[in-house]
């Protein structure tokens, strides 16, 4: 799924007909999402056609991805359905190394002939680009895994749930918000299923079935007299789960400040929308923040985005090397800083882990898109930078001979490249709850949910907002705040982390739309953490008059 398609589907696009775009896939009846067009035997035959063609045409390495990408989006507003779209995109991408250079081609002609032709094109591109090659591709070794499979451990396939049931739930959330004072309420449910078959000349044939789900809403409250409007977005997270995420369980519900709830591995959209309407009304008349230094108590559904921008991105090796210099940028986290073994990225409380296997996360797969078995590894240990995020053709630059397994392509017709794995802050080891954390703060702000975010091209200076802000005075939450954003510098911020709550508070934040590359590709990624405290962070007031 591409971001602009999401924008179009979600009805946020401007002008034009509400037709789904071909990039997303062809619209299909909902039942068609449960079909399986090819058996693994057929996929293996097609894959072998590509690999054999590559070998006989001079490729020293080849991989092939036969992908079927299914999406269903339901968008609603107040008491009506705006759009229900089910899409399918099916095709093959072939990547080769010839003359020491990468080449890639794709086709939606999933036949032996179509796949052979795409392979020949990939080889021709590799040979043409080899003229500009200064460093031949060097791949870290990967064992051939033979014929293996992996599936997201879902309990209920969301594509099997009748559309009418999902619509009813979303309209129920809108109704809950409207009955509690919202002027407008819109809600959406996005469901994704990537059926990916990967094969390579290393001897792997990997069949994977990946599921993701994301319920979300926006509730708006308007005060006509003052001309003010405020919105409150959902406290849900996109998850690597099935429809079980939509069935609320008490054990997944954590109490937040002032009657608010936060959610772990299941979500109550109606309850959250109801609370959201009440909160949005409260925000309209909340106190505007006094700028200055505050101790921040950041809950996981907020902190996840800060982790994403200030840790996940700067530690991408391709970016550090300059491959993203013309777009996303480079990084302050240099090879020298890593090699020194002493670069204090954060305080001793900061342990950051990369993990492509975490159950329920968006990034979890068995194998990445170049056939590497996924794993977990340390990025920051006791505050010290210890590793980056790297794939097969670059990990040797770190003096390592094993890929980290974080290669991904958004579709069969896009070339795979290094993407951010799930990057998470480890929970504190001592028992410590978020309620205790608030009690220990004298002058602070508790921030929940994602908001505005911006960071420079080398990932030093950032500014974040949030969904809701609560003022803490002498260990008590005294009320909501408005116009809050905090600014800091990555290293300074992570060194101001003085405490992380224990694992009982641990939850995941997620994003469907991490963007990178030219042409741009999106990737879905989660970031887990427990609530954490950062001392003396600079808070600005964002209120203005126009």
Q: Which of residues 199-238 bind another protein (CB under 8 A)?
A: 220, 222, 224-229, 231
Q: Are 286 and 482 in contact (CB under 8 A)?
A: yes
Nearer to another protein, 12 or 359 (CB): 12
513 is a contact residue toward another protein (CB under 8 A): no
**What residue has token string 């950051």?**
352
Residues 6+ apart with CB under 8 A from 161: 243
Q: Are 212 and 191 in contact (CB under 8 A)?
A: yes
Nearer to another protein, 341 or 519 (CB): 519
Q: Are 464 and 305 in contact (CB under 8 A)?
A: yes
Cα–Cα nearest to 78, from 166, 182, 174: 174
Which of 456, 475, 476, 503 touches another protein (CB under 8 A)?
A: 456
Nearer to another protein, 60 or 108 (CB): 108
Q: Which of residues 20-39 bind another protein (CB under 8 A)?
A: 20-22, 26-29
Nearer to another protein, 182 or 273 (CB): 182
Q: Are 234 and 177 in contact (CB under 8 A)?
A: no
Burial class (CB within 10 angstroms; exposed 0-12, middle 13-18, buried 19+) of 71: buried
For 472-504, the DSSP string reads EETTEEEEEEESEEEEEEHHHHHHTEEEE--GG
Distance from chain centroid for Cα 27: 24
Residue 494, phi-psi category: left (phi > 0), alpha (psi -120 to 50), beta (remainder) = alpha
Helical segments of 229-364, H only: 269-284, 300-307, 317-321, 335-340
SS3 content of the chain, % helix, strand, coil (to 5): 25, 35, 40
Nearer to another protein, 78 or 440 (CB): 78
Q: Which of residues 60-89 bind another protein (CB under 8 A)?
A: 80-82, 84-85
Q: Which of residues 399-428 bind another protein (CB under 8 A)?
A: 413, 415
Nearer to another protein, 231 or 357 (CB): 231
Residue 475, phi-psi category: left (phi > 0), alpha (psi -120 to 50), beta (remainder) = left
Q: Which of residues 121-140 bind another protein (CB under 8 A)?
A: 125, 128-129, 132-135
537 is a contact residue toward another protein (CB under 8 A): no
Shortest distance, position 240 Cβ to another protein, whole Å: 26
Letters for 480-499 (x = contact with another protein by CB under 8 A, - = none) are ---x-x-x-x----------
Nearer to another protein, 459 or 527 (CB): 459
Nearer to another protein, 41 or 546 (CB): 546
Which of 15, 146, 341, 399 touches another protein (CB under 8 A)?
A: 15
Which among 299-307, 368-376, 403-411, 534-542 is the span making contact with another protein, rule CB under 8 A?
534-542
Q: Which of residues 319-378 bind another protein (CB under 8 A)?
A: 321-327, 329-330, 332
Which of 7, 18, 34, 478 touches another protein (CB under 8 A)?
A: 18
108 is a contact residue toward another protein (CB under 8 A): yes
Token pair of 19 as six digits: 């037709």
Which of 90, 150, 184, 513 touches another protein (CB under 8 A)?
A: 184
Q: Is the dihedral of CA 154, 155, 160, 161 positive or negative?
A: negative
Q: Which of residues 133-172 bind another protein (CB under 8 A)?
A: 133-135, 167
Nearer to another protein, 289 or 354 (CB): 289
Number of H helices, E strands in the chain: 10, 28
Q: Which of residues 278-307 bind another protein (CB under 8 A)?
A: none
Which of 150, 343, 460, 513 touches another protein (CB under 8 A)?
A: 460
């Amino acid at each position: 799924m591409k971001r602009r398609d999401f924008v179009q589907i979600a009805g946020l696009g401007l002008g034009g007909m509400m037709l789904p775009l071909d990039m997303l896939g062809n619209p299909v009846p909902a039942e068609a999402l449960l079909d399986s067009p090819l058996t693994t035997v057929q996929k293996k035959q097609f894959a072998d056609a590509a690999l054999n063609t590559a070998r006989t045409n001079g490729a020293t390495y080849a991989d092939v991805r036969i992908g079927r990408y299914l999406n269903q989006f339901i968008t609603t507003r107040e008491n009506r359905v705006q759009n229900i779209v089910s899409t399918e995109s099916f095709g093959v991408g072939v990547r080769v190394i010839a003359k020491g250079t990468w080449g890639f081609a794709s086709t939606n002609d999933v036949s032996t002939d179509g796949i052979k032709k795409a392979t020949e094109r990939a080889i021709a591109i590799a040979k043409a680009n080899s003229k500009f090659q200064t460093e031949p591709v060097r791949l870290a070794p990967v064992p051939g895994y033979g014929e293996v499979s992996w599936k997201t451990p879902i309990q209920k396939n969301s594509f099997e749930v009748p559309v009418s049931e999902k619509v009813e739930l979303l309209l129920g959330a809108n109704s809950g918000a409207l009955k509690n004072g919202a002027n407008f309420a819109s809600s959406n449910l996005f469901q994704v299923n990537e059926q990916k078959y990967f094969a390579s000349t290393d001897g792997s044939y990997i069949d994977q079935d990946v599921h993701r789900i994301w319920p979300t809403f926006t509730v708006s409250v308007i005060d006509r007299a003052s001309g003010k409007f405020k919105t409150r977005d959902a406290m849900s997270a996109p998850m690597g789960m099935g429809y079980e995420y939509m069935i609320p369980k008490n054990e997944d519900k954590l109490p937040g400040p002032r009657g608010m709830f936060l959610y772990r591995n299941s979500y109550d959209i109606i309850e959250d929308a109801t609370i959201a309407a009440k909160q949005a009304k409260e925000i309209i008349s909340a106190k505007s923040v006094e700028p200055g230094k505050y101790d921040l108590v950041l809950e996981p559904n907020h902190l996840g985005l800060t982790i994403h921008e200030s840790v996940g991105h700067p530690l991408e090796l391709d970016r550090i090397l300059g491959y993203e210099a013309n777009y996303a940028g480079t990084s302050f986290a240099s090879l020298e800083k890593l090699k020194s073994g002493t670069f204090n990225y954060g305080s001793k409380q900061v342990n950051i882990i990369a993990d492509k296997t975490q159950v329920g996360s968006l990034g979890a797969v068995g194998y990445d898109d170049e056939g590497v078995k996924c794993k977990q590894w340390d990025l920051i240990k006791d505050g010290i930078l210890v590793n980056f995020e790297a794939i097969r053709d670059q990990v040797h630059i770190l003096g390592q001979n094993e890929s980290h397994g974080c290669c991904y392509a958004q579709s069969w017709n896009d070339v795979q490249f290094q993407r951010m794995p799930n990057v998470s802050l480890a929970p504190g080891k001592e028992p410590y709850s978020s309620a205790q954390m608030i009690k220990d703060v004298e002058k602070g702000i508790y921030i929940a949910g994602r908001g505005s975010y911006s960071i420079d091209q080398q990932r030093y200076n950032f500014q974040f907002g949030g969904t809701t802000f609560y003022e803490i005075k002498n260990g008590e939450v005294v009320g909501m705040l408005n116009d809050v954003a905090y600014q800091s510098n990555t290293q300074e911020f992570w060194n101001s982390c003085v405490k992380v709550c224990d694992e009982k508070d641990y939850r995941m934040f997620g994003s469907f739309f991490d963007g990178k590359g030219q042409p741009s590709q999106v990737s879905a990624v989660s970031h887990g953490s427990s609530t954490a405290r950062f001392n003396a962070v600079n808070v600005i007031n964002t209120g203005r008059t126009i």
